[in-house]
Amino acid sequence: MKNIFRLLAVFVLAGAGTAFAQNWPNKPIHVIIPWPPGQATDLAMRMVGEKLAPVLGQPLIMENKPGAGGTIGTDQVTKMAPDGYTLLAASSGPMSIAPNVEKLRYDPRKDFTTISLFAINPFVMVVNPALPASNLKEFIALLKANPDKYSYSSSGSGATSHLMVALFNSMAGIKAVHVPYKGSTQAVTDVVNGQVAYTVETVPTVLSFVNSGRLKALAISSARRSSAMPALAPVAEAGDLPGYDMFGWIGLMAPAGLPREIAARLSAEVQKIMQAPEIRERFIALGLEPAPPGSTPEEFGAFVTKQYERYGTAVRQAKVKLD
């Protein structure tokens, strides 16, 4: 008899969940963006949200909650109800990297519902033009011959740029001094000014400096070339460092326990949006590579787990520690 009651309870709850999902959404949806306005994740989320709101029939209220490399806003989402009215503009920093270099209150593999991947965010290795190296191999030779003479900047200890350079240095056998900043702007500015020799940063952050000749671009961080800078070879190829393939990513998530029907609907709508030529062109103009078709919740979940493990391996290999 008890088993019958339990079975009935399961059916009742399942029916209630389906009914709830069918009535969703019937009020505004809040989207937590754990970065300041104008950052790549913020811009990407707003572009997608602009198209998503009319389809859902409800406004998407964008809330920037920056701090601690994106981990503050990301952690906040784990405390919200999984009812489809709180979403997260997720990215590699607080999801793939931060959990591997510091102790956080959330687990990126367990505390979120994955919905869909938006884009891959390749980084560019740039140097001050006065540096006596015309390509990446010459640059590596220069730094190897002068251990600890040159310095590199990052947007912060444990940030994506820090890990990418640290892994590059490790694989190339380079010893250099790390100079962390509180954000990308000053980290890049000091390379332009010649106070720091090199850094790795996103395409949008460095593109204008490269085009004006104030920075020299040596390679792209991902194994695939960037649509925004197609002439730039990957680090793995330009520096003869097989296996080097580092990039950021941006996607949509929600608190763990989001009803499957809501996740599936959101994912389907995002996939349609990301295939629109206008959106793809706008993403590429920002230096972002639009995600390939078919980024379902399950596929995005597998991607997030793989990236978390990849960065964990990179952290251990490069022996990255917070300064």
CATH number at residue 87: 3.40.190.150
Q: Is residue 45 located within the same domain as residue 73?
A: yes
Q: Is residue 222 located within the same domain as residue 286?
A: no
Number of domains, the chain: 2
Give the Cβ contact number of residue 228 at 10 Å: 19
Which pLDDT belongs to residue 84?
98
Q: Is residue 148 located within the same domain as residue 60?
A: no
Q: Is residue 234 located within the same domain as residue 158?
A: yes
Q: Is residue 109 located within the same domain as residue 252?
A: yes
Q: Is residue 193 located within the same domain as residue 264?
A: no
Percent of the chain past pLDDT 70, that is, above it, reads 93
**Section 248-270 average pLDDT:** 97
From residue 189, give the alpha-carbon distance in Å to each of 162, 185, 215, 218, 225. Answer: 16, 6, 10, 17, 25
80 contacts 31 by C-beta, under 8 angstroms: no
User: Could you tell me if residue 8 is inside a domain?
Assistant: no
Q: In this structure, are strands 216-220 and 112-127 parallel, antiparallel, or unpaired?
A: antiparallel
Which pLDDT belongs to residue 204?
81
Full residue range of the structural domain in which residue 294 is found? 29-120+248-318
User: Could you tell me if residue 13 is inside a domain?
Assistant: no
Show the beta-strand stretches assigned E in 193-265. Answer: 198-202, 216-220, 247-255
Q: Is residue 173 located within the same domain as residue 277?
A: no
Q: Is residue 128 located within the same domain as residue 234?
A: yes
The domain boundary, picked from 179, 206, 238, lies at 238
Q: pLDDT tens-digit profile of 79-130? A: 999 999 999 999 998 999 989 988 999 999 999 999 999 999 999 999 999 9
Non-local CB neighbours of 287 within 8 Å, separated by 6+ positions = 40, 121, 122, 202, 203, 204, 207, 226, 228, 229
Which pLDDT belongs to residue 253?
98
The C-alpha atoms of residue 279 and residue 200 are separated, in whole angstroms, by 26
The domain boundary, picked from 238, 270, 304, lies at 238
pLDDT at 319 > cutoff 70: yes
User: Could you tell me if residue 292 is inside a domain?
Assistant: yes
Q: Name the average pLDDT for the chain.
A: 90
134 contacts 319 by C-beta, under 8 angstroms: no
Q: Is residue 223 located within the same domain as residue 253?
A: no
Percent of the chain past pLDDT 90, that is, above it, reads 73
Q: What is the pTM of this model?
A: 0.82
Q: Higher-confidence residue: 42 or 7?
A: 42
User: Could you tell me if residue 20 is inside a domain?
Assistant: no
Strand partners, 88: 32, 253
Q: Is residue 115 located within the same domain as residue 127?
A: no
Q: pLDDT tens-digit profile of 61-74? A: 999 999 888 999 99
